[in-house]
Amino acid sequence: MNIKDKSIAELEQVAQEIRDRIIEVVSVNGGHFSSTLGAVELTLGMHKVFDCNNDPFIFDVSHQCYPHKLITGRWDKFKTVRQFKGLSGFTKPKESAADYFVAGHSSTSISLAVGAAKAAKIEQNGKVPVLMIGDGSMSAGMVYEALNELGDLKFPVVIILNDNEMSIAKPIGAMSKHLSKLLAGKFYQGFRDKVDFIVKNYMPKGTDYIAKKIEESLKLITPGIIFEEMGIDYIGPIDGHNIEEIVETLKLAKNLGKPVIVHAKTVKGKGYSIAEGHFEHWHGVGPFDVETGNFHKKAGAKAATAVFSDALYELAKRDDKVVGVTAAMPSGTGIDKLIKEFPNRFWDVAIAEQHAVTSMAAMAKDGFKPFVTIYSTFLQRGFDQIIHDVCLMNLPVTFCIDRAGIVGADGETHQGQFDISFLRFLPNMTLFAPRDSTTLQYALEFAKDYATPCAVRYPRGAFEELEYAPSKFQKGKAEILKKGKSSIAFIGYGAGVSRAINTEKLCEEENTIVDLRFVKPLDKELLKELSKTTNRWYVFSDSQKQGGVGSALLELISDEDLDVKVTSFEYPDLYVQHGDTKLLEEDLGILPEQLANRIS
């Protein structure tokens, strides 16, 4: 789509066409919705002023990148967004050269832009990185690490701050808006240069502060003082839905030849009145009816997240030492109702996983029982803090790992495949997993009274209802669910137990089924006894093969010199792509029917 030659009126028409296309497709496929509708005009402004074939276009998290995809040759294929083998819901360079970088986690954009600006400086190629970052992403420390260096380097980077929820600092009416633009205009930039020249060449020593005070007095009444103090020029706030104002401002920012933040006020869900405003449930949606806004909900069993939320709520009611934290995902992790009921004991710390972990380590040190509720994919961001602040101190922090395993349409950046691998080698860490809703409740009861670090994982969606009666957790104890007559044992972990059961039903022989329950520590005695009657173990777990459950069993076999062959049906050495969960499992060859055929 050629944006460069279009008038403002034509761009406004294009904006409407883009919104209509997003509403049409997302209402059928699901996906990120309100954030991407709110970014349409800003994206058009980026493409009008900058060249995505030359200037790096960077989208933080990139859940607001749908307009960018539609502008850059993916209009027809957009109907496949988030579908198996279709377009990704995030930016992806393998999909288009217009996508500079993969992004699915927040607050990486400014660091990427600094790196791109350094490369441009070395190559002297005139490229100007331009990025869009939401105000929520500004809560992460990585942003300020990048701004700190950028303010020192002074390399040209244009940062569009898409402020759709909260103001960084409340502007003081029309005067503030006018002065903010004035500060970035030719008059002010020329004034500042002249001040510097006069100070260096003509002002007597000891009087230069007078000139500087003139400049500072203007800056102090604008909302951009925090950025100006870091060495980043600031423009705004501007209307993020006024294309003419956006284009004018971005041209100004580009021509400054230095780092600039353009603060744009936008409305989430803009153009679809039902979703306009700060409604968390419209951020990421399933299929819905466009006319009514009603979601097409599927009837089914209670989701694991809801089971977790209710169980933790009951523990918190009984024990006032139970506390908890989430990092910007209160409803996603089910901790929202605990924050509402116990506001002095449960917190949302925004996109700050490192801070979340370390703050709970301190609470554990002071005698509380913290539960860190977090998606598997986001727990990666607090990895050093788990090692240094929790495990090294051997503190009783419980990590409640939601979305473990395949999560579906969000794809590579969100699949929960690595948590077992990166937690299992940590000293003092205990890892266990429930197989169904009841054992998830038992898992939390066990964790509440556990005296050292531990982590419990559970899947997105609902557990399968199993015919095997649940039992309480005991440290390091596995459970034999069925004793078979063959030399084969099916060893399941967490949600993998149901896959083991379903696979065994399709086999001709009666095989032993084990719920491992703990991957660290392993139940050595039970497994050693098992090796006396079985010599082929098949491993079922929704996790990465490298460093996973199968690896733990192989280590035991080596240490104890057991005569057993292990075959793991965990995920292979790759990033699992996006798509419907069942289609992904079929592609990986791990559906029960496929596994039964492989075993036979």
**Using an 8 Å Cβ cutoff, are 223 and 176 in contact?**
yes
CB atoms within 10 A of CB 196: 14
**Per-residue H/E/C for 12-32:** HHHHHHHHHHHHHHHHHHCEE
**Do residues 250 and 262 make contact, with C-beta atoms less than 8 angstroms apart?**
yes
CB-based contact 409:382 (threshold 8 Å):
no
Instruction: Give catalytic status of residue 353 as yes or no.
Output: yes
Let me know the angle formed at the C-alpha of 127 by 52 and 121, rounded to the nearest 5 degrees.
150
Tell me the angle at which helices 173-184 and 208-219 cross, rounded to the nearest 10 degrees: 130
From the list 228, 353, 479, 504, the catalytic residue is 353
Pairing of strands 398-402, 369-375: parallel
Q: Which helix (H) or strand (E) holds 149?
A: helix 141-153
Active site residue 464: no
Q: Return d(Cα 236, Cα 234) in angstroms, integer.
A: 7
3-state secondary structure at position 555? helix
In sequence order, the 6+-apart residues with CB closer than 8 A to the CB of 433 are: 404, 443, 456, 457, 458, 493, 494, 495, 517, 519
**What's the chain's length in residues?**
600
Query: 509 catalytic, yes or no?
Result: no
* CA distance from start to end of the chain: 54
Contacts of 458 (CB under 8 A, 6+ apart): 304, 305, 308, 400, 401, 402, 404, 433, 434, 440, 494, 495
Q: Dig out the tokens for 54 from the structure.
A: 């030359």
Catalytic residue from among 74, 265, 369, 381: 381
> What whole-number distance in Å separates Cα of residue 95 and Cα of residue 87?
7
Residues contacting residue 118 through CB under 8 Å, at least 6 positions apart: 153, 155
Backbone φ and ψ for 97, nearest 5 degrees, come out as -65, -15
Q: Which of 82, 265, 268, 448 is catalytic?
A: 268
> Which residues carry out catalysis?
268, 353, 381
